[in-house]
Structure 1
Amino acid sequence: MEQPHQGSCLCGSVSYELNGEFKAFYLCHCRRCQKDTGSAHAANLFAQNASLNWTQGAQFVQTFQLPNSLHVKSFCRQCGAALPTATGDIVVVPASSLDSPLPMMPTAKIFVGDGAEWAKNLAQLPCFDTLPTAVS
């Protein structure tokens, strides 16, 4: 049996355990995920027939569903960090919410046609290990 996956929010108010196997890891570039994350894409793992248990802070978990859509997200009401969402027999886990090691590499990029223009050719940008000391 696979070990349970552990995760938490940014402030530590909420923690969870997921029992189950991840079947896919998508980097979603759709416009909704851009708005949802404030970034170029969402990074979500998908587990079918998995069990999600809040081990701490369940009272701080808020879930929002965009009306007339399948777009659902859960987050910590204290810090706003993304948290897993159970919908039907699927649990969607934001990759960055995991505290245990990621069990797989991304499966695919999806909705790339909706990708943010500013996120193209990012490999050409300078890289820093920490916050740069000067703004150019």
Structure 2
Amino acid sequence: MSDLYKGSCLCGAVTFAVDGFSEQAANCHCTMCRKFHGAAYGTLVGVSGLKWISGKGYLKEFIARNGTVRTFCSECGSSLGFRVKGAFLKDIELAISTFDSDTPVVIDAHIFTDDKANWCNLQDDLLKFKQGRK
């Protein structure tokens, strides 16, 4: 039996649970992630067994010019996740910071480092990709 990992937005209107995570998770430095998360990078992870426990009606989406979808809580504005163009909500990569307790996720890379903020210094041993993983 898998563990359940629960998460939520800042105001608690949106809650969810997952039973697993992708083996790869990266800090994304693309301009869209930085602006969406209001931080040096966004850290997202693919999940399995996603169940929306409450607040699915609060989910709103922003579709970027390139077709990617950013999902957020319409009540508090929390950045919840990302989907590639054409992907369904069940295929969302969730912002790892939205989980309410520790997860077994290990961040393994920095991606889109060509777009990173000039004030962000990468001083770790993680793999670094100028664009996406290649």
Question: Which bracket does the TM-score occupy, shorter chain normalised?
Answer: 0.7 to 0.9
SS in 2 for 1:17: strand
Unaligned regions of 5+ residues in structure 1, if any?
Answer: 124-136
Instruction: Tell me the secondary structure at the aligned position of residue 75 of structure 2.
Output: coil
1:55 — aligned with what? 53
Mapping for residues 1-136 of structure 1, pairs under 5 Å: 1-47=1-47, 50-69=48-67, 71-85=68-82, 87-88=87-88, 90-120=91-121
Q: CA deviation at 1:38?
A: 1.7
**Deviation for aligned residue 1:121:** 6.8
Alpha-carbon distance between aligned partners in 2 of 1:83 and 1:117, rounded to the nearest angstrom: 25
CA separation of 1:97/1:121 partners in 2, compared to 1, >3 Å: closer, same or farther?
Answer: closer
Q: Secondary structure at the match of 2:119?
A: helix
Deviating beyond 4 angstroms after TM superposition, the runs of 4 or more aligned structure 1 residues are none
CA-CA distance at 1:17 after TM superposition: 1.1
Contact residue 27 and residue 109 of structure 2 kept, 8 A:
yes
SS class of match (1:64):
strand
Count of residues in Structure 1 that have an aligned counterpart in Structure 2: 120
Structure 2 unpaired stretches of 5+: 125-134
Contact 1:63-1:85 within 8 A present in 2 as well:
no
Give the fraction of aligned pairs with identical amino acids, expressed as a percent. Answer: 31
Cα distance in 1, alignment partners of residues 21 and 123 from structure 2: 32
Within 1, Cα distance between the matches of 2:57 and 2:19?
Answer: 21
Contact 1:26 1:44 in 2 (8 A): yes
Question: Contact 2:71 / 2:82 at 8 angstroms: preserved in 1?
Answer: yes
TM-score, normalised relative to structure 2: 0.77
Question: TM-score scaled by structure 1?
Answer: 0.76
Residues 23, 105 of structure 2: 8 Å contact kept: no
- Aligned equivalents of 1:29, 1:85: Cα separation in 2: 14
Give 1 or 2 for the bigger CA radius of gyration: 1
Partner of 1:128: none
